[in-house]
Amino acid sequence: MEYSERQQRMTLEKYLSAYFRKNQGVRLGETTVVSRKLHGNDPRTPGDIRIYTDQDAGRYYLQQTEDDLMLHMDVFHEPASLDPVFVARRIWDGVDGYFRKLQEEKSDEFSKDRITELTKYMAQRILLRTAGGKGSVFDLASRTVELIPAKARKPETHVHLLFTVKPQFYDSLLFIADAVEQAIMNQGFEIRRVEKIIHCEKEIETRPGLGIGLGLPGFNSPESQKYRAQQNRLQIIMNLACAFGSVEEAARFLESLTTAGNIFLGSFAKKHGDGDLKQTLLDLSNHNLIKKGRLASILTDDGKAIRDFIRNHQKELEAQVRKSIRRYQIVRHNYRTYRNSELKSRKSQLTDHKKVVSQPDRAWLSDIAIPETVVNASVRSYLEGRTHMTIEKKDIKVYGKKSFAPIDTCIAIDCSGSMVGEKLRAVSYLAEHFLLTSKEKVSVVVFQEMSAQVVVPFTKNYQKLQDGLRTVQPEGLTPLAKGIVESINLIKRKRARNPLLVLITDGIPNFPLWTTDAQKDALKAAKMIAENKIRLVCIGVIPNEEYMTELSTIGKGNLYIVDELDKNSLVDVVTQEWEQYKYS
């Protein structure tokens, strides 16, 4: 083991020990929470994990008589019925890999037999539970415990672990968490990001005989089961809304699953990808929300309940989606960038009604602060012994000024056939994020087949944005030149303030505008961007890097080459550019 790795082990030991002494927990990676206390969350904010600092995990789950004997780890994922045997075996492999890593550092202390002994010892003391059953990792991996029948399993939202480990071996937690994440993904389910940890106190009645729980107080109580069912339902709805772009589209999708046949699923496959659609149907089947009929996939009673719930609470659910978009935490990445833009934003002067100043010599054209002026004149008249108030020039107060650089963003999207599925969802999420987190206007231009069109004119209205994005269906060629020209015309026609043109494409132009050479036409159009003093941001992928470098240079814009067009990379890139332009 390298010196840096040994240092990381020591740092993790001190880091976790310090938090545990304060009765607090920490997040490991993106999905895992570990502490010595009880965990829980609210179905309205599933990414916010509460750690109850007054509830010891060992006392609550195992009826231990002392505090701080057990570590409590939860690894979060989408609602799923995980196979505990598969998870246990991956954890066993992870623990074995951990001790083999230690062998590289101290080979004299960790022989092959010693590693086998330590791995077995630890596997016997890690208690695991998923929707499929519970027990020690050793017993589950050996299949010596009885599992919950598949039909009786209810989807859960995290893998629950209880175990003891000495502080000098705290770095084994990273191996265990990674093993659980891999087990979740290998079973075809998505891991879920922990957005925030909240430390609080909560009086919870400790009941004997609960055994290993799932981190929610009173797990077997009717109230808790109802609470958990609500959480799972909301999580499923949010996943559907994310997959199809909106709560409205999710409802339409569920309504298309009828006994008469899934005649409308073709339109969903065209927009979201046939593979993604099949995966969504598989996930719903795993959650017992749909079943395969003779002619088509149809909703079960649970699926119909979710469909009806969406229709009856659509406004509240849409508000929850908007809230989650606003609260999205940007993940910073490293990209290969090419910077050519030196364009600065032009600031506007606005009246600041929170700031009142004395009247300067040329302030007669400013906004007079009437209340402050009257008060000032009244005080002066009283102190001078006047019987009536008079207003003189020295009494006048005016409102101050503040600088503001509005940035109107036009997003030009390549909607050729290669953008179907996750890429289009990522771009749509980017547009929604900017509309909801800024006070400026957003527009969307798509180019595909042989033309380009404005699907969302400059607007601050979220519903108009969603209505426009819903009409987009990726197909055909990439008329990049036409898309650029259409974007420039929209910006000029609407007199956009400090316009920022975001160009997103995963390919090379293959349909021309003026000549027979599509690539030269796109370069000519890019030159028009610089001539019209529009700040350009290009986002492309590695295969088209050479051409996009030339295009961004001619357009005097900045280019970002990303590994893939997902929402993390898009939001990160455009947020950075937007802030740089706004405050330049």
Q: Count CB neighbours of 111 within 10 A.
A: 11
* Three-class SS state of 253: helix
Kindly report the pTM of this predicted structure.
0.56
Residues of the chain with CATH 3.40.50.410: 336-342+406-582
User: b vs e for 204-224, b when ≥16 Cβ sit within 10 Å of the residue's Cβ?
Assistant: eeeeeeeebbbbbbbbeeeeb
User: b vs e for 428-442, b when ≥16 Cβ sit within 10 Å of the residue's Cβ?
Assistant: bbbbbbbbbebebbb
pLDDT at 400: 76
Q: How far apart are CA 499 and CA 491, in angstroms?
A: 7
Are the C-beta atoms of 441 and 582 separated by less than 8 Å?
no
Q: Are strands 500-504 and 409-414 parallel, antiparallel or unpaired?
A: parallel
pLDDT at 205: 38
pLDDT at 2: 42
- Residues constituting the chain: 584
pLDDT at 8: 56
Are the C-beta atoms of 168 and 13 separated by less than 8 Å?
yes
Q: How far apart are CA 214 and CA 31, in angstroms?
A: 15
CA 548 vs. chain centroid, Å, equals 28
Q: Count CB neighbours of 466 within 10 A.
A: 21
Among 423, 425, 424, 459, which Cα is nearest to 439's? 459
E strand segments, 465-572: 500-504, 535-541, 558-562
Q: What is the DSSP letter of 466?
A: H
Q: Which residue type occupies 120?
A: K
Q: How far apart are CA 424 and CA 265, in angstroms?
A: 18
pLDDT at 263: 57
Which DSSP string corresponds to 2-53?
A: -HHHHHHHHHHHHHHHHHHHTT--EEETTTEEEESEEEEEETTEEEEEEEEE
User: b vs e for 528-539, b when ≥16 Cβ sit within 10 Å of the residue's Cβ?
Assistant: bbbeeebbbbbb
Domain range 336-342+406-582, CATH class? alpha beta
Residues of the chain with pLDDT under 70: 1-11, 43-44, 105-110, 202-229, 231, 258-276, 293-295, 331, 349-353, 359-366, 584
* Three-class SS state of 568: helix
Q: Which residue type occupies 318?
A: E
* Three-class SS state of 296: coil
Q: Which residues contact 390 (CB under 8 A, 6 or more apart)?
A: 377, 381
